[in-house]
Structure 1
Amino acid sequence: MTENGKLVRLYPVPFRLVADDQQFRKWQWIEARVEKANADHRPESHRLFVDTVECDPEPLRAGKEGWPRRMQLLSQLTVFDDFSTIQAARIENGTSLALLRPSRILGLDISPAKSTEWTTAEKEKLLQLQSQGNLFDGDEESKHIRLLEKLPFDFHYRYECIVDGEVRSYRHKIVDWEAGALFRNLRRKLGASGWEAPFREKYERELPARDLLLLLGTIHRFPDQWLAVSVICPPRPQAGQQHQESLF
């Protein structure tokens, strides 16, 4: 999001080829040159000129002292309480990024991916995105282009939204980078038969116990299809307090 509270999509970012001092982290402010993406008509989509990135020294802090500042910034954004209103915003004004606060997480569906290998076309696209030599200084040939391992499983959140007493159920695929990183770390430590239980503990119990928000985004080629791009989990308000939008 921008400092004045506007959601933007910056793409592509061949992150592993970015210079070390330009590798930003989650919740870290950056300054950079961007321009509206020509081939992507979604209003939030912008091209990032990676070689212009300048990062703040440190990300915004977490914890009891840090989350109020994070939520103060996020309070500039509209937080939807039902997915149908997000769809209506997409139809009305092209909205393709939105924050949603589900009433309840019902569960996590884990299913084998249709394909565990990249197709030839997907490989070519990944290589193209990672080899934009005009974006970088220095000896580009010294940088190794590595293909990210494709996740062998798909993860979907099932959740409810309650509107005027009516319960509405939805299901969205989670494509959050952190979910993939957690899966790989747990599989490496616990093996093929041990990763699922702690993964479910995280996404079915630990995160929903907080004030869970879903950052939803559409697919460029399929604008009516939405994915859970990120899972944002600030602490729940204490008893007697209102939601963070007004609290902070």
Structure 2
Amino acid sequence: MSVEAFRALHRRTAPGDPLVLPGPWDAASARALQAAGYPALATPSAGVAASLGYEDGQTPADEMFAAVARIVRAVDVPVSADVEGGYGLAAKELVERLLEAGAVGCNLEDSDGGVLKDPREHSEWLAEVRAAAGDRLFVNARIDTFIRGVAEPERAIERAALYVAAGADCVYPIGAPVAVLPLLRAGIQGPMNVIAKVGEGPSPAELGERGATRITFGPYLQRRAMEGIAGLLR
């Protein structure tokens, strides 16, 4: 599937039918998720890090891109890659490495070392990524205000506007309370990614009713799988 087809998956109109993108952490999990019928996948950086023996945020860039490439090779569905804050790469090099790995999209964070980046500077960098990628990548711009202690939805909406203007295809206010999702949906243009937990909290359909266009699970699938293995060993 091309990036155009991947982008089209985000144009769903039924509120209760968001695009669900589970997150593979290696080739075997990617194959299992494809076999379950999902039309596309989105890698979680924390899950991939765990599979490689690193703490979240500590994976070397070369190992992350190599892991993404293995996942892409293992399946026939499109894969979007969480590449954290871009590993300090210039926009052109970041785009080249994503395309070399076979990714159709990327997830990019707007905080570094637990500190929010200046939103205007970050939006300028996102614009550079967009210019380098053209239409070849779907850019999901993560908004970290809620997980960095900034609870006011207006701050997330302000950042979203800057990132969409810079060319982001989707924005991702990670950690946003479920209660504020309708407010975010009213203030944000274009697709909105929301994280869901596995087996607890609102279902993907319920999150869609509250405004989510796209659902991802971060590291929760990988962590639940590890819990399952621990249970088998016990």
TM range (shorter): under 0.3
Q: Which has the higher contact order (CA 8 A, sep 6+)?
A: 2
TM-score (norm 2): 0.27
TM-score (norm 1): 0.26
Structure with more strand by fraction:
1
Structure with more helix by fraction:
2
Larger Rg computed on CA atoms: 1
